[in-house]
Structure 1
Amino acid sequence: MLPPIFQKASKIISVLEENQYEAYFVGGCVRDYMTGRPIHDVDIASSALPSEVQKIFPKVIPVGLEHGTVIVRYEQESFEVTTYRTEGEYSDHRRPDDVRFVRDIKEDLKRRDFTMNAIAMDTNGKILDPFGGKQAIESGLIQTVGHAADRFEEDALRIIRALRFCSQLGFSIEEDTKKAMQRCGAQIDYLAVERLTAELEKMVAGPFFNQAVDYLFALELYHYLPIFKEEPLLLKELEPVSSLAPVFALVELKSAALTAAACIQAYKCSNQLKRQALNLVEGYHLYQKNGIDAWFVYQLPKQQWEDFIYLVRQIDQATIDRQALHRIRNKLPILSKKELCVNGYDIIEWFPERPKGKWIKDVLDKIEYHVVISKLANEKSKIKEWIQWNLPAQG
């Protein structure tokens, strides 16, 4: 019996079949089922055109009609259904110039990147495998569908995806596929960097990342990775980690010339990831200066502790005591500046003769620090008295 995630989606396939259309599970969900990996979502391919799917199901969201993709809402759940298709030329080495809908599942599977991703499965678990994907999975091989150079010339992201699958699955790369990856490596420069970033993050998180790095060096593909092409040996120092934030923090802390901010800019990452990377860099400098103390624990967000532990392990080969972090955090008088019992308005009210200015923020920063390290009670009267004794000179 198929796992529950397939059983739910089987209802969509059954409805399509009742209306005289073909439909199969395809792509990564089939691959992950065959390799025993967790399946997070399923993709359905069908001979039904998008307009035909829309007629069959009452609730359909047309998310990618030009590529034949719609989302079917069925029994309070969403299922992605894509029409069988073939693709035209890839004149920009990034996306097909045109997409043609077809009625033959084998034509659809033929356009896919690797044989392990070109397998279809019906609702009974029967496999349709015209390109030997099952054998490739059993042999632990990443191999393109058809001529390898053609696949990589069409879309150079497939070169990076091969490395990502290597990192995730521990598979080897088939010899002809490997040669074509090296020969077509320069095509990576045509990619939108956002696509590269998404694959790099998955690659770094893979348990066999070091194996992917070996291929990066053997095939000289690191030349096409922003930042790392400047100091490629940094790649060899990385251990698997679930986010790029500690990776970019590590780059800054290990390199004399590169910064986390430069990494963020080069890979066009989000502002959130930028804050996380800079938090880790600042946290490491605090740790170097004073070790694990109240101010350090207060400054570094709890959700970044694991990334910081990774960072210290990578740089210093040292272990951070998680329980010590929890103990210190549990004793903190406040967990954020918002918890201070005073604000800028209080200071203005207490010192009306003073003109407003940056000194108010500076005083609040010092109050925050002294409260956190338990040198000052978080009480208005105590804080007012402290300010009177520590008021900065005017002018």
Structure 2
Amino acid sequence: MTTPFGTEASRRVISELQSAGFETVFVGGAVRDFLLGKEPTDIDIATSATPEQVKKVFRHTIDIGIEHGTILVLAPEPIEVTTFRTEEIYSDHRATDEVVHGTSLKEDLQRRDFTINALAMTLEDELVDWFGGRADLEARVIRSVGKPRERFGEDPLRVLRALRFSAVLNFHIESETLEAMKQLAHELQHIAIERIKVEIDKLFQGVNPSKAFQYSREIGLPTLFPELFSSFEQLDSFVPFTHARHGWAAMLSMSEVSATELAHHFKLSNEEKRFLKQCEDALNLRASRSFDVLDMYYFPLDVLNVVERIRHAKYPDETTETYEQLVERKKQLPIQKRDELAFTGTDLLQWSGLRGGKWTSEWIEKIERAVVSGCIENDAQAIKEWFVYEISRKE
């Protein structure tokens, strides 16, 4: 390895903890990604030091997860440092009730989910690999550390994590691991929907979500949890997704629930709710006709694009528009947003001689639609003449 692993700040954190007498290494996904030739992100550090001891070594820290043994060291960039763990105890599968800290790196790694994540790297760039993680990376295999039933029993969410990694890395799941997933998949009923949603988001953004969808069917998720995973039966034709929200839109198009119900069920963010509602409205319009100029104006490009992709996936013989075509149509609109109109509400008051009221917002919208539709030019004089004529007809 020619380039030292980790950032300068993260290496300095390890060095200081080692100088204080604590075993400290890089762990987890960053090590995995480094070995895969990817740029490591979210660098994590594991140490034999307790959270209290970490705080004594560093002046500036934040207790972001001290109950789980994690301290954020400001060095000055934030670096997560977690005490070696030997066990995590769950009472309701929703959160860790108790973390048992240890002093052994091997004990910490053997409690991790998959061999490809049970890797560590020393400050001297030596790989620590007690469970065959590197070999599994080279074979493109997802395999549980130790006994699969024990690992999934500790946290059933690992069933979804295995599916997520199969999509993100395009790896296959080892047979014994897959069999344990099938046997314990029903335990996902105890997992908080927020944790499930995070895994689905990441799965949607993988390089091969279809692989995860296939494995989900093999372990029976659509049958066990039809309200959550029934759409996984038919989502293969929609991939790849350029964003997680496109995956949710595809789920919406294949389900019998409304955007509001889907958003509520998975506790989506307000932004995601708005996006799904726009997709629902656009899908309803698109069911009977192509997008017209007003649709192009009122719907965001992202919504138009994902709806066209959904239509193409569901009806491949139907004529649909590409992203590039949608971009060009958007560019050709007379205006892109309301504040580009060549008049204001004050102009309406002056032109009409009337007092302000609800009618002004109604007429602004009418003029906006007329400009977008090409009925009038976006020119103050042209708008005035059109408005004065139209409002006189209403009197």
For the criterion TM > 0.5, the same-fold answer is: yes
Q: Give the Cα separation in 1 of the matches to 2:7 and 2:324.
A: 42
The Cα offsets for residues 112-160 of structure 1, whole Å up to 9 and x where unpaired, read as: 1111111111123211122222222222221212222222222111000
Hey, what does 2:276 align to over in structure 1?
Answer: 277
* Alpha-carbon distance, 1:295 to partner: 2.9
1:263 matched to 2:262 = yes
Hey, what does 2:367 align to over in structure 1?
Answer: 367
1:94 and 1:156 in contact (8 A); partners too:
no
* Alpha-carbon distance, 1:325 to partner: 3.4
Q: Give the Cα separation in 1 of the matches to 2:5 and 2:302.
A: 30
The amino acid across from 2:185 in the alignment is G
The amino acid across from 1:34 in the alignment is L
The Cα offsets for residues 169-216 of structure 1, whole Å up to 9 and x where unpaired, read as: 222222221121111111111111111111111112212211111111
Hey, what does 1:21 align to over in structure 2?
Answer: 22
Hey, what does 2:68 align to over in structure 1?
Answer: 67
Hey, what does 1:38 align to over in structure 2?
Answer: 39
Query: Taking structure 1 as reference, are residues 33 and 284 closer, same or farther at Cα in structure 2, changes over 3 Å only?
Result: same
Instruction: Give the TM-score, by structure 1 length.
Output: 0.88
Query: Taking structure 1 as reference, are residues 295 and 288 closer, same or farther at Cα in structure 2, changes over 3 Å only?
Result: farther
The amino acid across from 1:340 in the alignment is L
| DSSP-derived class of the 1:71 partner | strand
The Cα offsets for residues 207-232 of structure 1, whole Å up to 9 and x where unpaired, read as: 22111111111110223556454555
The Cα offsets for residues 32-70 of structure 1, whole Å up to 9 and x where unpaired, read as: 112223322211111122222222222212211111111
Hey, what does 1:164 align to over in structure 2?
Answer: 164
What are the within-5 Å matches in structure 2 for residues 57-206 of structure 1?
57-74=58-75, 76-206=76-206
Instruction: Give the TM-score, by structure 2 length.
Output: 0.88
Q: Give the Cα separation in 1 of the matches to 2:17 and 2:350.
A: 71
1:23 and 1:45 in contact (8 A); partners too:
yes
The amino acid across from 1:330 in the alignment is K
The amino acid across from 1:260 in the alignment is A
Q: Give the Cα separation in 1 of the matches to 2:219 and 2:315.
A: 30
Query: Taking structure 1 as reference, are residues 378 and 65 closer, same or farther at Cα in structure 2, changes over 3 Å only?
Result: same
* Alpha-carbon distance, 1:26 to partner: 0.4
The Cα offsets for residues 326-374 of structure 1, whole Å up to 9 and x where unpaired, read as: 43333333221122244445445555657833x4433222211111233
2:118 and 2:145 in contact (8 A); partners too:
yes
* Alpha-carbon distance, 1:238 to partner: 3.1
Q: Give the Cα separation in 2 of the matches to 1:340 and 1:38.
A: 46
The amino acid across from 1:156 in the alignment is P
| DSSP-derived class of the 2:306 partner | helix
1:348 and 1:356 in contact (8 A); partners too:
no
2:114 and 2:145 in contact (8 A); partners too:
yes
- More deviation in 155-164 or 117-126? 117-126
In structure 2, stretches of 5+ residues that fail to align are none
What are the within-5 Å matches in structure 2 for residues 209-358 of structure 1?
209-225=209-225, 227-255=227-255, 257-284=256-283, 291=290, 294-304=293-303, 307-308=306-307, 310-317=309-316, 320-348=321-349, 350-351=351-352, 356-357=357-358
- More deviation in 62-71 or 310-319? 310-319
1:116 and 1:133 in contact (8 A); partners too:
yes
In structure 1, stretches of 5+ residues that fail to align are none
Q: Pairwise CA RMSD of aligned residues?
A: 2.8
1:226 and 1:266 in contact (8 A); partners too:
no
- More deviation in 219-228 or 172-181? 219-228
2:89 and 2:99 in contact (8 A); partners too:
no
Query: Taking structure 1 as reference, are residues 237 and 139 closer, same or farther at Cα in structure 2, changes over 3 Å only?
Result: same
| DSSP-derived class of the 1:6 partner | coil
| DSSP-derived class of the 1:184 partner | helix
The amino acid across from 2:272 in the alignment is L
The Cα offsets for residues 303-343 of structure 1, whole Å up to 9 and x where unpaired, read as: 55653553344234356344443433333332211222444
- More deviation in 219-228 or 301-310? 301-310
Query: Taking structure 1 as reference, are residues 337 and 228 closer, same or farther at Cα in structure 2, changes over 3 Å only?
Result: same
The amino acid across from 1:280 in the alignment is C
Query: Taking structure 1 as reference, are residues 13 and 65 closer, same or farther at Cα in structure 2, changes over 3 Å only?
Result: same
Query: Taking structure 1 as reference, are residues 209 and 172 closer, same or farther at Cα in structure 2, changes over 3 Å only?
Result: same
Q: Give the Cα separation in 2 of the matches to 1:134 and 1:298.
A: 51
2:351 and 2:388 in contact (8 A); partners too:
no
The Cα offsets for residues 63-110 of structure 1, whole Å up to 9 and x where unpaired, read as: 111111111122x42211111122243221233321122211111112
| DSSP-derived class of the 1:45 partner | strand
The amino acid across from 1:259 in the alignment is S
Fraction of identical pairs, as percent: 34
1:383 matched to 2:383 = yes
Query: Taking structure 1 as reference, are residues 148 and 270 closer, same or farther at Cα in structure 2, changes over 3 Å only?
Result: same
The amino acid across from 1:14 in the alignment is S
Query: Taking structure 1 as reference, are residues 68 and 236 closer, same or farther at Cα in structure 2, changes over 3 Å only?
Result: same
